[in-house]
Structure 1
Amino acid sequence: MRKKVVALVAVLGALAAGVVVARGCSGDGTSKETGPVKPGHEKIAAGTSRDDAPRPAGSAVAIVAETSARPEKGAEVVFSATWGGTRLNELGRSRPDEANPEAPMSLAMDPKGNMFVLDQVNGRVVRIGPDGKPEAVIPLKEQEAAQDMAVTDDGKVAVLDRYNSKSIVMYDDKGGVLGEMPLEGEGLDELGFVTGVFVDGKDVYVEKEHGPLLRIGTTDGQPADRVEVPGRPTRDGLSYIKAGIIEPEVGRMYISSVDRTTMQHRFTREYRQGSEIRGILLLDTDKTGTIYLATLLVQNGQETVILSCHEPLKGIPTGTAVLPVNTMPEETFRDMAVLDEGGVVYSVRTEQGVSYQKYDCQ
C-alpha cells in the first residue's frame, strides 16, 4: 500500500494566531483541556503540547491533504503473553473494584532489537530478545506506581514513577540499581504534568505537558543540572520535534521541528486528517530521523488508528498504515515503540492477553 498524499498548498508565514491545542484527554479518549494529567490518560495525547505550534515570522507552514490507507494484514507478532502470574510468558493485569484497571504501562526497544515491557502490576521490567523469547527480569525498586521507561543504547533502563517514589530509577543491563533521580525540584512544580521519560545520549529527561523536555539526570543514575530543550530529540541527532492538535473536530494537527545545532525553527507542517482526532498515540523517530506519528481518529462513527511516516527535514509524508484499535479498559502510558531500523512495535490487548505486533508505513 502506498499512501496517497497530495500537498495542497505551501503557505509562507506563520499559522494564524489563536491556535487551540489539545492539552489532555478524558478517560474515553476524547480531547479536552485538563489540569494535572491523570495516570494512564497520557497515551491519548502523547506528543501534544500545551503551547501553540511555533510560528516564527517567515517560516514555511505546509498544509497537507487527507490521506487514505487500507488496514494492514498479517502483521508480524514479536511477542505474545497471556494475562496471569509472574512467569516470563505472562504479564500482569489488574481490574480492581475501586480503581482504574491496568495493563503493562509502557514498552521500549534498544538498538539490538531487544524489547522491554514495563509490567508494573508484577513490579518488574521484562526483557524480550530479538528472537521473541523472554530473557530476563528487572525487579523494580519501590516503584509501585511506575508508568513509563526509556532504554539506553547499552541496555540500561530508566523507570519513571511520578506518584510513589516520585523519581526516576536507573537500572543497569543486569537489573542492578545505578541510582535514583528525584523529580521534584527546579523547573518541575507539578509531577502530574510529567508526560514521559526520555534518554538522549548520557542524559535523562522528563517531558512536561507533552511539550519541552527537562533534563533530570544522567544514565549512571545521578542528578544533573536542569536544562530544558524544546521537544523530543530525534535519533539522528539533528532535531527536536513535537506535535499537537489544532482543531480536533475537523482533524487539524501539526508537527514542528527545531534544528538541534542552531536551535532555529526548521518547519511547522499542518496536517488535515479528514476526520475527528481523538488523540496522538505516538511521536518518535528511527535512526535515520524518519518521524513516526500515530493518531486515533473517528471515521464513520468508528475509531481508527492511523500510523504515518514523515521525512525528517521538511516533514513531508512518506507512507501510512492502519493499525488495530485497543478497546480494552486498561489504562496504559505508552503502547508503541519505534525500532532503530524503522517500523513500530504496537501493544495490542485482548481478553486473553497481549500481542506485540510490528507495523510499518507503506
Structure 2
Amino acid sequence: QDVATSTDGTTAVLDRLKDKNITLLDQNGNVVGTLPLEGDAVGETGGITGVFMDGDDVYVEREHGPLVKVGNKDGSAAEEQEELPGRPSRDGTLLLSAGIVEASTGRIFVSAIQRSTRDHLFTREIRLDDAAMYLVLLDSDKQGTIYVAVVIGTPDPPPGDVRVQLVCLEPSQGVPTGGAYLPANTLPDETFRDLVVLDEGGVVYAERTEAGITYRVYHCS
C-alpha cells in the first residue's frame, strides 16, 4: 500500500494487509529481503500509513504519527524499534509532521523538530483556500524546502468541486514561500503515491483521467 526508494535505488514495497511485511528490491528489481511488520511499537499493521527509507534504515509510519524503525535495506530486522517523532527531511536536519486543525475552515499545521537535538523548531498554521479534506503530501527537497499538499473543496455531490493545494515553506521558521494548484484525481483507481518531491525541487504529480496518466512537474510560485 506504499513504496519508498533510497538513494542507491533500493525500493521498499509495503504490504500492511495481506503478507504484513516490506519487500526490498535492488535497482534491478531483484528481491534482496523482506522485513516483517511486527512488534509492540508497530502495533496493528492496518494502522500503518506509510513506509520511509532514511539512509540504510527502513521505517513505517504509525497512524500518521511517529515513525518506527523496522530494519535495514539489506533485509535485516531492527534489534530495537527506534521511533522518530516525524518524517526525516531530505537534507537530514529536520523531522516533519503535519495535520488538519479544522477541516471546515481549511486550517492545517506543519511542525518541525531539529533531528540532532530533538528540539522543537516551529509549528506553523496554514489557512488554505477551501475546506481541507485530507493531506496527500509532506516531504522536502535536498535544499530543505518543505512541501505540503492537501485536497481541498467540497466532494458532494460527486464528483464535487475539489482540487489539490500545494504549499512550500522555508525550513528555518516554516514561512510559506509560494504554492500551486493541481487538479484533483477523482477516479476510483487506487494508487501508491500520486505526488513525489524531486531532490532538486518541484513536485511530480500523476494526473489520472479516463484517457490515462500524465506526469507533470509543478513548482511553487
Q: Which residue of 2 aligns with 1:223?
A: 77
Cα deviation code 1:253-276 (max 9, x no counterpart): 100111101101110111111421
Q: Which residue of 2 aligns with 1:154?
A: 8
Q: Which residue of 2 aligns with 1:267?
A: 122
Instruction: Give 1:212 shift.
Output: 0.6
Unmatched tracts of structure 2, length 5 or more: 155-159
Q: Which residue of 2 aligns with 1:258?
A: 113
Distance 2:12 2:184 in 1: 28
TM-score (norm 2): 0.94
Cα deviation code 1:219-275 (max 9, x no counterpart): 111111210000000011111001000110011110011110110111011111142
| Residue 46 (structure 2) pairs with residue 192 (structure 1) | yes
> Partner of 2:7: helix, strand, or coil?
coil
Listed as ranges, the matches of 1:2-41 within 5 Å are none
Pairing partner for 1:305 from 127, 149, 164: 164
Query: Does the CA-based 8 Å contact 2:128-2:165 persist in structure 1?
Result: no
| Residue 179 (structure 2) pairs with residue 320 (structure 1) | yes
Unmatched tracts of structure 1, length 5 or more: 1-146
Instruction: Give 1:333 shift.
Output: 3.5
Q: Which residue of 1 aligns with 2:157?
A: none
Pairing partner for 2:32 from 168, 171, 178: 178
Instruction: Give 1:331 shift.
Output: 2.4
Instruction: Please list every run of at least 4 consecutive aligned residues from structure 1 whose deviation after the TM superposition is greater than 4 angstroms.
Output: none
Distance 2:31 2:133 in 1: 38
Instruction: Give 1:285 shift.
Output: 0.4
Q: Which residue of 1 aligns with 2:193?
A: 334
Greater CA deviation, 339-348 or 172-181?
A: 172-181
How many residues get paired?
Answer: 216
Is the strand fraction higher in 1 or 2? Answer: 2
TM-score (norm 1): 0.58
Instruction: Give 1:298 shift.
Output: 1.1
Distance 2:129 2:204 in 1: 26
Greater length-normalized contact order (CA 8 Å, ≥ 6 residues apart): 1
Pairing partner for 1:288 from 129, 143, 155: 143
How large is the Cα RMSD of the aligned pairs? 1.4
Q: Which residue of 2 aligns with 1:32?
A: none
Pairing partner for 2:208 from 349, 356, 362: 349
> Partner of 2:46: helix, strand, or coil?
helix
Distance 1:246 1:341 in 2: 30
Query: Does the CA-based 8 Å contact 2:163-2:183 persist in structure 1?
Result: yes
Q: Which residue of 2 aligns with 1:67?
A: none
Instruction: Give 1:296 shift.
Output: 1.0
